[in-house]
Amino acid sequence: MIRLDAERPVHFCDGLSRRDFLHAGALAYLGLGLTDLIGLKARGAVNPGKDVNCIMLFLVGGPSQLDTWDMKPNAPAEIRGPYKPISTKVPGIQVCEVFPRMARNADKFALVRTVYHTAAAVHDTGHQMMQTGRLFQGGIEYPHAGCVDSWMKGPRGDVPPHVLMPRPIGNTGGNMPHGQNAGFLGKIYDPFVLNADPSEPNFQVPDMLPPDYMPAIRVDRRKNWREMIDRSVKQFEGNADAKLLDSTFNQAYTLMSSEKARAAFDLNREAEEVRSRYGKNRFGQSCLLARRLIEAGVRFVTVNMFETVFDEITWDIHGSSPFSPISCYRDLVGPMFDNAFSSLLEDLHQRSLLDNTLVVAMGEFGRTPKVNPAGGRDHWPACWTIMFAGGGVKGGQVVGESDEIGGAPKTRPVTPAEVAATIYHALGIPLDTEMRGAQGRPIRLVDQGVEAIHELFT
pLDDT at 1: 30
- Architecture per CATH, domain 20-206+271-457, reads as 3-Layer(aba) Sandwich (3.40)
CA distance 303 to 287: 7
Q: Cα-Cα-Cα-Cα dihedral of 144, 179, 57, 81, to 10°? A: 140
Per residue of the chain (458 residues), give pLDDT as tens: 333 333 444 433 333 343 333 333 333 334 343 333 334 444 556 665 579 999 999 999 999 999 999 999 999 999 999 999 999 999 999 999 999 999 999 999 999 999 999 999 999 999 999 999 999 998 899 999 999 999 999 999 889 999 999 999 999 998 899 999 999 999 999 999 999 999 999 898 866 655 454 444 444 555 565 566 566 555 555 554 554 455 445 555 656 667 888 899 999 999 999 999 999 999 999 999 999 999 999 999 999 999 999 999 999 999 999 999 999 999 999 999 999 999 999 999 999 999 999 999 999 999 999 999 999 999 999 999 999 999 999 999 999 999 999 999 999 999 999 999 999 999 999 999 999 865 678 999 999 999 999 999 97
Based on its alpha-carbon atoms, the radius of gyration of the chain, rounded to whole angstroms, reads: 23
- Ramachandran sector of residue 157 (left: φ over 0; alpha: ψ -120 to 50; beta: rest): left
Backbone angles phi, psi at 205, to 5 degrees: -80, 120
H-assigned helices in 258-333: 259-264, 272-278, 282-296, 328
Q: Could you give the count of Cα atoms lying within 13 Å of 445 in the half-sphere of its Cβ?
A: 26
CB 267 within 8 A of CB 285: yes
pLDDT at 240: 44
Q: pTM to 2 decimals?
A: 0.85
Sheet-wide strand order for 384-389 = 192-193, 162-165, 300-304, 53-58, 357-362, 384-389, 109-115, 397-399
CB 53 within 8 A of CB 356: yes
pLDDT at 44: 55
Q: How far is CA 47 from CA 50, 312, 418, in A?
A: 6, 42, 19
